Structure 1
Amino acid sequence: MSPSQSKILRNTAVLVALIVLGLIMLIPLIWTVMLSLKSNGDLLRSTANAFHAPYTGENYVAIMQNSQVLHWLMNSVIVSGLTTLGVLILSSLAGYGFARLDFPGRDKLFLFVLFGLAIPEQAVIITRHQMFSALHLHNSFPGLILPGLAAPFGVFLMTQYFRAIPKELDEAALLDNASKFRVFWQVLLPLTIPAQATLGIFTFLSSWNDYWWPLISATRADMFTLTVGLASSQINFAQTSGLGYLMTQAVFASVPILIVYIIFQKYIVKAVSGAAVR
């Protein structure tokens, strides 16, 4: 066998293996979608007919008429959107300060920020809960958003990205009598859009899927995010409209994440693979 044929065979084997693994990973998703399209009465008798007709969209109609689920969805959109916006603003400003400005204790402060990467959220949850209770921030949007703004990874990412930008750009802008803020806002910040896109995607996904803190902070149903609301429905299974309705909720919760991934998949792939984002 020639080297070229061996390479083709090897690449084909890798492709087949990836397709098989991809299909295996898709099985739970396909199963969920199929169950969501079955009537709850059919599923009470058996779930084995999930891949057999008849199918119905009654569960999707019901969820669109359920104001509680839509309210949870809106809560998640508000919390995830504002958290992402806050992280991008604060991380960009902090990254610019650490990378471009000289001030006393800069390196020590940056090291202190990096320590935040090593501290798990569970280690500070009791202190955070007590602090937010004292400030009466539970069951409020600030209470759900503020913890997510502490993003040491975002500060680290933006600092490294600003450091990679040639300083000659700053010097040229300063020679044109531009202020440091104008240099940051009009010269450097537009060059960091790929890094901001990557950071924004991961922040949004993390905030959208967060269950730990919203479960602790939001004790009223009207302040539930989608993850907590759906979990409460699944725990009280006897009070739900049926298995098909629960699967429809899961599909409904996944759609925004799928949309975000489709739009920004280029940045996600580059970030995961460690490639240089351009």
Structure 2
Amino acid sequence: MSIATVLGRNRGDRIAMVAVMLFALVWVLPLLWVLALSFKPNQVLQLGTAVWYEAPFTWRNYHDIVATSQLFRWIANSCIVALGQTVLVLAVSSLAGYAFARLEFPGRKLLFAAVLAGLAIPQAGYVAPLHRLFADWGLHNTHAALILPGVAAPFGVFLMSQYFKAIPIELEEAALLDNASRWTVFWKVVLPLSLPAQATLGIFTFLNAWNDYLWPVMSATQPAMYTLSLGLASMQTNFAQSEGLGFLMAQAVFAAIPVLVLYAFFQRHIVAAVAGGVR
């Protein structure tokens, strides 16, 4: 390989890196704008938001959150809903995915096709009958009503099924030859090998439940049962800029912290899951 080829490749790598950094900067700018506005006095923001990078700055908006807002109650509700939904989705999707990947039973292909068909149905298509169902059960304004609809996760079943199929079947056959039951094989052999896929599914499920708005706005009608997305939306009136845009931005920043921490902690599992799926 000639020196000119090496230099040309290095130059191309530098150009690609600069382009990626510029795209990342464009993506980060709105987040920096929200963060800066959260530290601005509301009196200044009444005149306009173009001065977001200039003094004065204040902690008043964050102080008001602690003193007057129901944000912590909404965050608690979102944590309960997102964590509960994540745990149930992982359990159901892992069991169903393993059944579709390894077990033979009548109607397996037809049932799997029906599960995949669920991916094509938008949430707005079934939210009305779902609301009627939970109304008949008397479950609205409860955590159960906010959690249970999300447990039916066709994407989770498909993801776990494809990941289980990628695991060498010889590992399971060796365990079965040692008189291990099918449940033992699943629990002690297959499930530990699927941790990257479970982490990925868990993150996607958590974020989807955390940011969901359509179902909570129909099911939770009492402010004490609002999730974070619904609670923040309830405060965004047409006069938000004159009544406290900085306060609203501070709530958005405060609410984003748990999601950022979760994603940073599990980021490597997403890469591992993608690499495992490619293999």
TM range (shorter): over 0.9
CA distance in structure 1 between the aligned counterparts of 2:128 and 2:105, rounded to whole angstroms: 34
1:149 corresponds to which residue?
Answer: 151
1:214 corresponds to which residue?
Answer: 216
CA distance in structure 1 between the aligned counterparts of 2:185 and 2:75, rounded to whole angstroms: 39
Q: TM-score, normalised by structure 1?
A: 0.92
* 1:276 is the counterpart of 2:266: no
Deviations 1:143-200 (A, max 9, x none): 1111110101111111111122222222222222222111111111111111100110
Tell whether the 8 Å contact from 1:234 to 1:240 is kept in structure 2 after alignment.
no
Report the secondary structure of 2:104's partner residue: coil
Query: How far apart are residue 45 of structure 1 and its match?
Result: 3.5
CA distance in structure 2 between the aligned counterparts of 1:20 and 1:128, rounded to whole angstroms: 44
Report the secondary structure of 1:276's partner residue: helix
Tell whether the 8 Å contact from 2:45 to 2:241 is kept in structure 1 after alignment.
no
Tell whether the 8 Å contact from 2:46 to 2:242 is kept in structure 1 after alignment.
no
Code of the aligned partner of 2:191: L
CA 1:237–1:136: 2 relative to 1, 3 Å = farther
CA distance in structure 2 between the aligned counterparts of 1:103 and 1:253, rounded to whole angstroms: 45
Code of the aligned partner of 2:214: W
2:50 corresponds to which residue?
Answer: 48
Code of the aligned partner of 1:93: L
CA distance in structure 1 between the aligned counterparts of 2:262 and 2:246, rounded to whole angstroms: 25
The unaligned stretches of length 5 or more in structure 1 are: none
1:266 corresponds to which residue?
Answer: 268
The correspondence of residues 102-181 of structure 1 with structure 2, limited to 5 A, is: 102-181=104-183
The correspondence of residues 1-278 of structure 1 with structure 2, limited to 5 A, is: 2-66=4-68, 68-235=70-237, 237=239, 242-269=244-271, 274-276=274-276
Deviations 1:41-82 (A, max 9, x none): 222234333212232212112212335110000000000000
Query: How far apart are residue 236 of structure 1 and its match?
Result: 6.0
CA 1:256–1:237: 2 relative to 1, 3 Å = farther
Code of the aligned partner of 1:177: N
CA distance in structure 1 between the aligned counterparts of 2:200 and 2:269, rounded to whole angstroms: 6
CA distance in structure 2 between the aligned counterparts of 1:94 and 1:265, rounded to whole angstroms: 25
Tell whether the 8 Å contact from 1:36 to 1:244 is kept in structure 2 after alignment.
yes
CA distance in structure 2 between the aligned counterparts of 1:185 and 1:70, rounded to whole angstroms: 37
Report the secondary structure of 2:140's partner residue: coil
CA 1:47–1:236: 2 relative to 1, 3 Å = closer
CA distance in structure 2 between the aligned counterparts of 1:189 and 1:242, rounded to whole angstroms: 49
CA 1:268–1:57: 2 relative to 1, 3 Å = farther
Q: CA RMSD in A?
A: 2.0
Code of the aligned partner of 1:235: T
Query: How far apart are residue 8 of structure 1 and its match?
Result: 2.1
Tell whether the 8 Å contact from 2:141 to 2:219 is kept in structure 1 after alignment.
yes
Code of the aligned partner of 1:249: Q
Code of the aligned partner of 2:227: T
Query: How far apart are residue 238 of structure 1 and its match?
Result: 5.5
CA 1:62–1:269: 2 relative to 1, 3 Å = farther
Report the secondary structure of 1:157's partner residue: helix
CA distance in structure 2 between the aligned counterparts of 1:276 and 1:101, rounded to whole angstroms: 22
Deviates more, 1:231-240 or 1:241-250: 231-240
CA 1:182–1:54: 2 relative to 1, 3 Å = same
Deviations 1:98-152 (A, max 9, x none): 1122211112111111111111111112211211111122111111111110101
Report the secondary structure of 1:242's partner residue: helix
